[in-house]
Structure 1
Amino acid sequence: MNKDQQLSIFKHIINTKTVNDNEAELADYLAGLFAPYADQAVKVEKVHYAPGRDNLVVTIGHGGKVLGFTGHMDVVDPGDLSAWETDPFDATIKDGKLYGRGACDMKSGLAAVVVALLELLEQGVHLPGTIKLLATVGEETGNYGAAQLTQKGYANDLDALLVCEPNNDLHDVTYACKGVVDYYVTAVGRAAHSSRPENGVNAIDHLFEFARLAKAKLDQFDQEDPALGKLTHIVSKFNGGEQINSVPSHAVMAGNIRTIPQYPNKAVYEALNNTVAELNQQPDHQLSIRYSFPEEPMGGNVNSSLIQEVEATANQVLGWTPTPTVSTGANDGQEFTQADKEFTSVIIGPGGDCSHMPNEYVDLTAYYQAIAFYKQFAQDFLTE
């Protein structure tokens, strides 16, 4: 495959509008690229998530070690179009960079691994093992596709997973990530005139009580992970009350917690649920809690064999050794590593620091380097 063909696939992926939706169109396109190789032990599966939203699983080969690659097909909304110098859904090349929504996060990584696998098939490279591409829906809004594929067992046979998210144009490799817990607490009170507050129940006051008590409980989680640091917690949203001269009868607060392996999400749920239960033992307290976007922390070993293998291939193909790093963000790998089988996941891909921004771009040199890296890494990993 020449560079024009490699670029054409990338552009098509960018131009397919998948703003937290419509991944089925992109999944169909990618499935069509692999369809001509059905006689080369290639299995293509679309896993339906919702109308217009399909995950894609492409399995190449059988037996031996199993190497996974994953990338998400959805992108965030482009926001204010007047802030863009180009159409975010019409891939545009300027000064060696490709601009478009998802160019960095993370359609460049997805396109690079798709092209790398197609080239292996095109060239008839024999691989004594199995490659599995897991292209997902809904990563930007909760890793829903990865969760679905994990629940259905698609990651249960993996021996390693490369998440093709942007990571300093392949100069970094991330081996550990904090988990995420978003929570919402609702308090129900009783309205009354503000001149007679004794006749009401102040829902906002009860949320203040929750916030203070939850902070005290979570502050006890003070052990520090050597790589990821401490668990963090912020109250990020607060809304309540009807008008300024009424006792508020309803209020909602939200918070965000970044967890570490020493205090996994289960420990946080227990602490917060107990806080709600304790307050509800008091007169007139009616609090409830719900959670969204839960991602377990992903611990890692900077000296793992997978890191060493990534470094060896990068040295050979790219001419540098990626720097091992950790992340406070979430990614699909954290879902996949909840599979029945234990395996190591790392993040390495093209793209820099412009994710979710207007005029998002990727350096095309990094895109072509990613193709070469993924292609060689698959061969190196499976032939060890």
Structure 2
Amino acid sequence: MDRNVLSDRIALWIEGHKAESAALASELVRIPSVNHPPNGNEAAYQTYFGDRLRSMGAEVTTYELDTVPGLKEHPAYMNTRNYAGRPNVHGLFSGTGNGRSLVFSGHADTVYEGVEPWQDGPFSGTIRDGKLFGRGSYDMKGGMAAALEAVRCLQESGIRLAGNVYIESVVDEEHGGANGTLAGRLMGINPDMAIIPEPTNLIPYPAHLGGGIWKAEFSGKSGIGFNGEELISALDATVSFAMLLQKFKLRLNELVKPHPLWSHTDRGIDVVVLSILSGDTKRELQEKLPADGKLNFWIEGYPGMTAEQILAMLDEFYESELPHFPILAKCRPTITPLIRYLSGSEMPAGPQTDSFLASVRSAGSIALGHETARGQGSPFACDGFMFNLHSPTPALVLGPSGANAHAADEQMDLDSYYTLIRWYAEIMVDWCGAEGE
């Protein structure tokens, strides 16, 4: 059948099913699936997701991570989480044969709702002003709903795919997780290509940043100087270290050669102070120098960079800056990782990747009505490295537009969501091969 006819069918279906598609994404948001390391409450969401896959005719598999052969022995496994009652689920939509295969892989878990006020509540799933509000709407239940709806679009439009398509919902991606994504690879879900529906504002990213969170702890000499003894404020040391980290960001971007896939931006790789605690936080009135200080910080890295390299550069910079921060010579931090280092990665180069990216651009030009961006790296870290570094399946990151990820009033733009459904459907037609009834 003529390719344009298939695209016309896809466009017609999406236009006629916008209300249903929005309702599905809203329903996913209304099911809390918050990650509370080392635990998480994804079970109800995963049950719903599996039932949805089953209702669409998929061959559904649900499994606990503790049952996955070789998972705990894998070098990329992070052994700090509890997975009881936190299953992965995937559905297989079998093709007619002789087509290339694809998996849409996304995480079921969200970060917690936070302490900031929400206009509608974090799990309301409110639709207003062309947007879907709620925790996970943007990161990343909207993208996963788009994958479900893209498959349903093809089914109900009478378009049969030649290749197999999987939709996989994994647990524990937030807070430095990704064991759920690794488990999917070890379960044998390793098709020709993968799409991760993280929120990308409709920009296809063949590469993503890495990053890690560390804790710096300071121990000073508390009290007040009645006898002229030398006191050391752990708070002063903590604040000085925060200032040092701001300077380290500049130095890090001088030391590290910019990666070609991030040449479109002058953002560089980021260093961010996440929190500072010092003294007795239960008392408003403090009458002595604080004896302790804690600071959490995030440092990014390009593909190929490791946590060891980053910390070595930070240590060298720390020593060079002591003349400017003398208290840090007296009060040195103990630095420990709070999460695994999420490795940056990019799709392996080669004919298969080139062919897939060409299909993505071609499909995108249909869905967007204009040419898509080429060869960009994402401004965030994600679990794509479990595909690109630990499986034979290259992973592209592509998802909807929105705002306020991990913050109050998180939202997904619904027009971008409908466009993404079409883009996913067009990708499946191009990549997997299809014919119409």
CA offsets 1:98-140 (integer angstroms, 9 cap, x no match): 444433332221111012234556678554433232213344x
Selected match of 1:367 from 417, 421, 434: 417
Q: Compared with structure 1, are the counterparts of its residues 98 and 276 closer, same or farther at alpha carbon in structure 2 (3 Å cutoff)?
A: closer
* Partner in structure 2 of residue 45 of structure 1: 62
User: 2: distance between equivalents of 1:217 and 1:368?
Assistant: 42
1:19 and 2:34 correspond = yes
1:164 and 2:197 correspond = yes
Q: Compared with structure 1, are the counterparts of its residues 310 and 197 closer, same or farther at alpha carbon in structure 2 (3 Å cutoff)?
A: farther
Selected match of 2:356 from 306, 324, 334: 306
Shift of 1:306: 3.3
More off after superposition, 369-378 vs 121-130: 121-130
* Partner in structure 2 of residue 75 of structure 1: 110
User: 2: distance between equivalents of 1:219 and 1:116?
Assistant: 40
When the two structures are superposed, what TM-score results if normalisation uses the length of structure 1?
A: 0.77
Shift of 1:256: 1.8
Shift of 1:53: 3.3
Shift of 1:89: 3.1
Segments of 5+ residues of structure 1 without an aligned counterpart are none
Amino acid of the residue matched to residue 29 of structure 1? Y
Equivalent residues of 1:137, 1:143 under 8 A apart: no
Amino acid of the residue matched to residue 240 of structure 1? S
Higher strand proportion: 1
1:316 and 2:366 correspond = yes
User: 1: distance between equivalents of 2:161 and 2:228?
Assistant: 74
Amino acid of the residue matched to residue 357 of structure 2? I
Equivalent residues of 2:181, 2:383 under 8 A apart: no
Selected match of 2:93 from 28, 35, 60: 60
* Partner in structure 1 of residue 337 of structure 2: 291
Shift of 1:25: 0.9
How many pairs does the alignment contain?
Answer: 374
Q: Compared with structure 1, are the counterparts of its residues 250 and 81 closer, same or farther at alpha carbon in structure 2 (3 Å cutoff)?
A: closer
Equivalent residues of 1:143, 1:335 under 8 A apart: no
Aligned 1:1-384 pairs, distance under 5 A: 3=17, 5-20=20-35, 21-36=40-55, 42-48=59-65, 50-51=83-84, 53-61=86-94, 65-78=100-113, 83-84=118-119, 86=120, 88-120=122-154, 126-139=160-173, 141-144=174-177, 146-150=178-182, 153-154=186-187, 157-168=190-201, 170=202, 172-191=203-222, 193-196=224-227, 198=229, 203=234, 208=240, 215=248, 218=252, 221-228=255-262, 230-241=268-279, 246=288, 248-261=290-303, 263-271=305-313, 287-293=333-339, 294-299=341-346, 304-324=354-374, 325-341=376-392, 343-356=393-406, 358-383=408-433
User: 1: distance between equivalents of 2:241 and 2:368?
Assistant: 55
Equivalent residues of 1:74, 1:138 under 8 A apart: yes
More off after superposition, 256-265 vs 285-294: 285-294
User: 1: distance between equivalents of 2:400 and 2:329?
Assistant: 56
More off after superposition, 354-363 vs 181-190: 354-363
SS in 1 for 2:146: helix
User: 2: distance between equivalents of 1:88 and 1:375?
Assistant: 30
Amino acid of the residue matched to residue 257 of structure 2? Q
- Structural RMSD (CA): 4.2
Shift of 1:95: 4.9
Amino acid of the residue matched to residue 106 of structure 2? G
Equivalent residues of 1:177, 1:326 under 8 A apart: yes
SS in 1 for 2:89: strand
User: 1: distance between equivalents of 2:298 and 2:258?
Assistant: 18
User: 2: distance between equivalents of 1:371 and 1:252?
Assistant: 44
More off after superposition, 324-333 vs 75-84: 75-84
Q: Compared with structure 1, are the counterparts of its residues 104 and 340 closer, same or farther at alpha carbon in structure 2 (3 Å cutoff)?
A: closer
More off after superposition, 95-104 vs 305-314: 95-104
User: 2: distance between equivalents of 1:383 and 1:143?
Assistant: 36
User: 2: distance between equivalents of 1:319 and 1:193?
Assistant: 69
Q: Compared with structure 1, are the counterparts of its residues 178 and 98 closer, same or farther at alpha carbon in structure 2 (3 Å cutoff)?
A: closer
User: 2: distance between equivalents of 1:50 and 1:83?
Assistant: 30
User: 1: distance between equivalents of 2:128 and 2:243?
Assistant: 49
Shift of 1:162: 1.3
When the two structures are superposed, what TM-score results if normalisation uses the length of structure 2?
A: 0.69
Q: Compared with structure 1, are the counterparts of its residues 154 and 197 closer, same or farther at alpha carbon in structure 2 (3 Å cutoff)?
A: farther
SS in 1 for 2:137: coil
User: 1: distance between equivalents of 2:172 and 2:228?
Assistant: 46
Shift of 1:268: 1.4
CA offsets 1:216-244 (integer angstroms, 9 cap, x no match): 98576342223336443344544334696
User: 2: distance between equivalents of 1:253 and 1:188?
Assistant: 12
User: 2: distance between equivalents of 1:223 and 1:332?
Assistant: 24
Q: Compared with structure 1, are the counterparts of its residues 211 and 262 closer, same or farther at alpha carbon in structure 2 (3 Å cutoff)?
A: farther
User: 2: distance between equivalents of 1:95 and 1:206?
Assistant: 47
Equivalent residues of 2:235, 2:293 under 8 A apart: yes
Q: Compared with structure 1, are the counterparts of its residues 340 and 276 closer, same or farther at alpha carbon in structure 2 (3 Å cutoff)?
A: farther
User: 2: distance between equivalents of 1:159 and 1:148?
Assistant: 20
Equivalent residues of 1:25, 1:52 under 8 A apart: no
Shift of 1:296: 1.4
Amino acid of the residue matched to residue 180 of structure 1? G
Segments of 5+ residues of structure 2 without an aligned counterpart are 1-12, 66-81, 323-327
Q: Compared with structure 1, are the counterparts of its residues 163 and 193 closer, same or farther at alpha carbon in structure 2 (3 Å cutoff)?
A: same
Of all paired residues, the percent bearing the same amino acid is: 23
